[in-house]
């Protein structure tokens, strides 16, 4: 009889949905599992913008520590929360099929981004979204908005904000797609690295657990995520810097767009390249190198200081 897989998860409604989805897939394969809720640093500090808390892995570190202590067998994260570097002894496992990677606008009065009134108050917790919003609409007033998805939705419905920006994937997963006013096209509003994808992490030497979760892998998603995360790694970025990247796969060819922005949106540095799907990782590095050569290093150094 196979062991019970212990799944480590944040306690938010979305995180639990993601972990329960993995649990359901395991159950269909006859593998028993249980979910353990773990509170992360990013969950504890809700009154400070994420960028001001500092450090990488704000929503994963405590879960990774539990994995290393062998208190859980796998961890389920949102891939976009994962730093480029993995703690020694841990690695990413299979990557399931990616949800919609786009950003979504939810407007109090049902207006599209282009139609929001001048000076409209827009809420987001992401510097990447802030910078791209200001690049398109420098007249908007961007305000930091933290909290779970339902908290943010409640605030925009109450009229505290003219609009908010969220990941479409989370809204879809929780059954709230009807709240979306507008999907922002990835070619004009580039998503976060690996947005919409799940990360399943395990201990490198735990081959028994790996054998039980390998069926979750979606190869096409894995290829695009490899390119995007290689871009992130070369730029030495985390999830709270204005770095965007989106890869698409068409037959044997992968196309990757990377973007780095100044916080005020006045400087936008972008690069798009294509390569064979077998060269996904080197493509990510090449796009990052091109961005750095165009001046992204100046923006990132200023941010990290």
CA distance 215 to 35: 19
Our measurement of the distance from residue 147's CA atom to the centroid of its chain's CA atoms, rounded to an integer in Å, reads 16
Residue 279 is classified by DSSP as G
- Within 13 Å and on the Cβ side, how many CA atoms surround 68? 12
User: Left (φ > 0), alpha (ψ -120 to 50) or beta: where does 215 sit?
Assistant: alpha
**Active-site choice (73, 81, 100, 206):** 81
CB-based burial of residue 212 (10 Å sphere; 0-12 exposed, 13-18 middle, 19+ buried)? Answer: buried
User: Left (φ > 0), alpha (ψ -120 to 50) or beta: where does 238 sit?
Assistant: beta
Task: Confirm whether 264 is a catalytic residue.
Answer: no
For 1, 266, 285, the CA distances from 257, given in Å and listed in that order, are 46, 19, 12
Quickly list DSSP for 110-132. ---GGGSPTT-EEEES-HHHHHH
Residues in a beta bridge with 243 = 260
CB 197 within 8 A of CB 98: yes
Q: List residues with catalytic annotation.
A: 81
């Amino acid at each position: 009889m196979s062991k019970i897989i212990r799944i480590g998860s944040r306690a938010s409604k979305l995180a639990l949905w993601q972990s329960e989805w993995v649990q359901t897939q395991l159950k269909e394969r006859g593998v028993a599992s249980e979910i353990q809720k773990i509170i992360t640093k990013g969950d504890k500090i809700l009154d400070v913008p994420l960028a001001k808390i500092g450090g990488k892995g704000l929503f994963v570190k405590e879960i990774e520590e539990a994995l290393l202590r062998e208190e859980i067998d796998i961890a389920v994260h949102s891939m976009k929360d994962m730093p480029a570097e993995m703690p020694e002894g841990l690695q990413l496992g299979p990557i399931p099929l990616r949800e919609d990677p786009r950003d979504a606008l939810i407007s109090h009065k049902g207006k599209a981004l282009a139609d929001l009134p001048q000076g409209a108050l827009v809420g987001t917790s992401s510097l990447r979204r802030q910078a791209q919003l200001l690049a398109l609409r420098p007249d908007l007033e961007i305000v930091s908005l933290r909290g779970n998805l339902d908290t943010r939705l409640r605030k925009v419905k109450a009229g505290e904000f003219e609009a908010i920006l969220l990941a479409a994937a989370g809204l879809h997963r929780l059954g709230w797609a009807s709240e979306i006013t507008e999907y922002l096209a990835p070619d004009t509003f580039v998503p976060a690295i690996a947005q919409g994808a799940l990360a399943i992490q395990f201990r490198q030497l735990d081959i028994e657990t790996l054998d039980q979760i390998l069926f979750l892998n979606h190869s096409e998603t894995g290829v695009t995520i490899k390119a995007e995360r290689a871009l992130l790694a070369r730029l030495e970025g985390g999830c709270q810097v204005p770095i965007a990247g989106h890869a698409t796969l068409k037959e044997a060819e992968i196309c990757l767009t990377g973007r780095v922005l100044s916080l005020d949106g006045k400087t936008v540095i972008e690069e798009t390249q294509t390569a064979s799907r077998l060269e996904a990782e080197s493509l990510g590095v090449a796009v990052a190198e091109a961005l750095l050569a165009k001046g992204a290093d100046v923006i990132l150094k200023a941010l990290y200081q």
